[in-house]
Amino acid sequence: MNKVLTIGEVLVEIVATTRGNGFLAAQPLVGPFPSGAPAIFIDQVGKLGTPCAIISRVGDDDFGRVNLKRLRADGVDVSGIEIAAGESTGSAFVRYREDGSRAFVYNIRHAACGKLRPTAASEALIESCTHLHVMGSAFSAPELGGMVMDAARRIKAQGGTISFDPNLRPELLDAPGMRAALAAVLAMTDLFMPSGEELFLFDAGRDEPAVIAALLDRGIRTVVVKRGAGGASLFQRGLRVDAKPLAVEEVDPTGAGDTFGGAFLSLWLAGSDPAEALRLANAAGARAVTRLGPMEGTSTRAELDALLSEQKG
């Protein structure tokens, strides 16, 4: 039986309710919502019934508890989340600008999840899991990056598989060692899930078909390109499938890519037909944007089927 592992930040997100003033004026805020890209991803994997776990760190506080409760309820093994006494759970405050773009105030580096380190529980999970999902953003923190790289090498050596979502803000790309770390992960990757321009990370200056062909030639089995409100595409040797975007009302795009990735991975690991896996992941991403709060839009299989049949009718 496959068991999926990811490693990284668990935090809460708190959202401003006004656009123009951002956080410069007092206002009602909404949240705390469970969050953190790896947490959203693994919550979606759990909701689809695939055995899964996350290695992370939270404080002994309500922000930590709200995450533990949600992840547990959705089927995620939380034994690898260390509860750090005397430390605070990470948080992110998000506001939307008038044009719909987002700006964040983060408290991550000095929070519990910014000091992730191996524990007996995390070591045991690395030994027992068969798949690791890597997020590129892990490499912006040297200790976390080192843990993720070590886990990737071990899971690969155990005969497991790796999925990789670059998940990188462009300004992080030029951090010391970042490109070398991303290239080392790519060399171990079985399923690559970039969004938009991230496809060209390793191969700037060539067009999409050439970049995809090069990735498949390196031995990557499946490449899935996330295209936001443009849908998504899947590539395997001799196969291209496109999924048109579903018509949904976008309320909050945060977490769509992680939700899409979690859904696609669950189906891919189960050996589903690639077109069917893409169709359901496209629905998971679409459903995610209709809910306020990054993890509020993760879906069960029944919710995905309902959205897809609604859109057919």
Q: Is residue 260 a contact point for ligand ADP (CB under 6 A)?
A: yes
Residues 6+ apart with CB under 8 A from 24: none
Residue 112 or 185: which CB sits closer to ligand ADP?
A: 185
Compute the distance between CA of residue 65 and CA of residue 122 in angstroms, rounded to an integer.
19
Residue 63 or 264: which CB sits closer to ligand ADP?
A: 264
Compute the distance between CA of residue 46 and CA of residue 23 in angstroms, rounded to an integer.
34
CB of 180 to ligand ADP, least distance (A): 23
How is 250-306 classified by DSSP, letter by letter? -S--TTHHHHHHHHHHHHHHTT--HHHHHHHHHHHHHHHTTSSSTTTT---HHHHHH
Strand partners, 55: 7
Q: Is residue 146 a contact point for ligand ADP (CB under 6 A)?
A: no
Compute the distance between CA of residue 283 and CA of residue 287 in angstroms, rounded to an integer.
6
Neighbours of 124 (CB within 10 A): 13
- Residues 240-259 interacting with ligand ADP (rule: CB under 6 A): 245-246, 248, 250, 253, 256-257
- Residues 103-122 interacting with ligand ADP (rule: CB under 6 A): none
Q: Residue 86 has which token pair?
A: 């005397």
* Stretch binding ligand ADP (CB under 6 A), from 11-19, 48-56, 86-94, 279-287: 279-287
* Stretch binding ligand ADP (CB under 6 A), from 59-67, 107-115, 170-178, 278-286: 278-286
Each residue 210-229 as x (binds ligand ADP by CB under 6 A) or -, in order, gives ----------------xxxx
Q: Which residues are at the interface with ligand ADP (CB under 6 A)?
A: 195, 226-229, 231-232, 245-246, 248, 250, 253, 256-257, 260, 282, 285-286, 289
